[in-house]
Amino acid sequence: MKNNRPLIKLFAVNGTFYMYDAVPNKLISISSQDLYATLHKIMALGCEYIDLIEDSSVKNQILKLFRQGFLHNPICDIEHPYTKYSEFILERSVETLTLEITQNCNFKCRYCSFANQNAERSHSASHMSKEIIQKAIDLYKQSSIDFPSVSISFYGGEPLLAFSQIKYAMEYAEKSFFSKPIKYYMTTNAALLSGEVVDFLVNKNVDLLISYDGPQEVQDKNRRFLANGKSTFDIVKKNLEYIEYNHPEFFANNIMINSVLLNKSDRAKAEEFFDSFNLPKGCIRINMANTEHIEFINEGVESPLIEDDRDQKDFESILNKESVVTDICHHSGPCVPGGKKLFVTTNGDLYPCEKVNTSNPAYIIGSVFAGFDKDKVNTLLNIGQISKERCTNCWAINFCSMCCAQCDGINNLDDTIKKQRCAILKKNVLSFLKQYASTSL
């Protein structure tokens, strides 16, 4: 049954009234306070209220908007449009294989869910066995038939603690994909980037994402050595300088920096520090940490929930595009779990990507031994089902960026967590709409 309450958001900026409508995905100005007040009633009571409008001028304006495609809500059900294609995608079009090559790490980072003393996740000495490596690559090979190239990423823990496993995985991949070009990626804390290791990675043209938070006071505040709690700043700085001096082309083309901060007050320090790096624009990312479920660092941390980090241009690219709203639809955000970045843990379990909590059984979508669990895949793809009533009445549905990773209830998918994130997202979208209205309409 169709909902008769329109998917609209009303607001005022500097005395001018505006309405955003999710169905046409458009923002328009409202000509009078009477029309604005009437739209508020329609938003609260539904379109049936139109018949009760006594002011003929206002009623005619409402009916005109209605004929132009505004003030509708066609949503009958929540289902992701890729649901019927998910099995095909996982059989033929998996883009990237990410191997949790080890769970071991040499750092203890305050914002890391593995390093949290109260967390469900923890570091271990577990490395991926040769059998798991082979089966993961075999599964990826048969699931990426339609891709002309191969992408394999190494993840941890700290991947370079399992350097021999990395070399074996590359050797096996190059035998398996002899007819396709292979691109390798790695996320590393850079402490082990020296000598033979660097020469090997340069030879393999590996793209490195370096976890490096900024100047010493920022880096050492959150990222210290696990064994003794000592500073990590000097060794990371030294190793990056080594790469830049000995392999300048590799440094310029294959290095990205990922800075993660607990306090917004550290952003300016990090930005100033990284300004001196000889890296192309866009190769340094500065993010706020997501500290959900990390109890021991709450003191001095500004927000336990990561905020929507999209900027004005990201939101503007969505506005006025074709709306996702149809009779059967789903909010934006989810991709087919495992379809873009299939994540394989050291024990061979399959997960949607590396961003989900691997201690939460709700996120397991199969194993390298049994293959994909198609039902679990579609459950995670259709994460809007856990908030179905809200989603069918949500004016921000086109701007939603939430996938299953943002619904982590430790042991299940938690709509309470999703609802908190909804509030943050709507706040940010409304802020964008107000700024856009004041500058572009």
* Domains of the chain with CATH codes: 8-74+385-440 (no CATH), 83-306+330-377 (3.20.20.70)
Residue 164, judged by CB atoms within 10 A of its CB (0-12, 13-18, 19+), counts as exposed
pLDDT value of position 110: 85
Q: How many CA atoms lie within 13 A of 380 on its CB side?
A: 28
pLDDT value of position 410: 83
pLDDT value of position 264: 84
In tens, the pLDDT along 77-124 reads 999 999 999 999 999 999 999 999 999 999 998 888 665 544 444 567
CA distance to 94, 191, 251, 413, per residue, from 245 (Å)? 37, 17, 9, 47
Q: Which amino acid is at 394?
A: C
Q: Which amino acid is at 182?
A: I
CA distance 366 to 389: 29
Residues of the chain with pLDDT under 70: 1-3, 113-123, 291-309
Cα 384 to the center of its chain, rounded Å: 16
pLDDT value of position 125: 81
pLDDT value of position 265: 85
With a CB cutoff of 8 Å and minimum separation 6, the contacts of 148 are 180
Give bridge partners of residue 21 from the DSSP assignment. 8, 26
CA distance 256 to 283: 5
**Residue pair 34/55 in contact by the 8 Å Cβ criterion:** yes
pLDDT value of position 181: 96
pLDDT value of position 292: 60
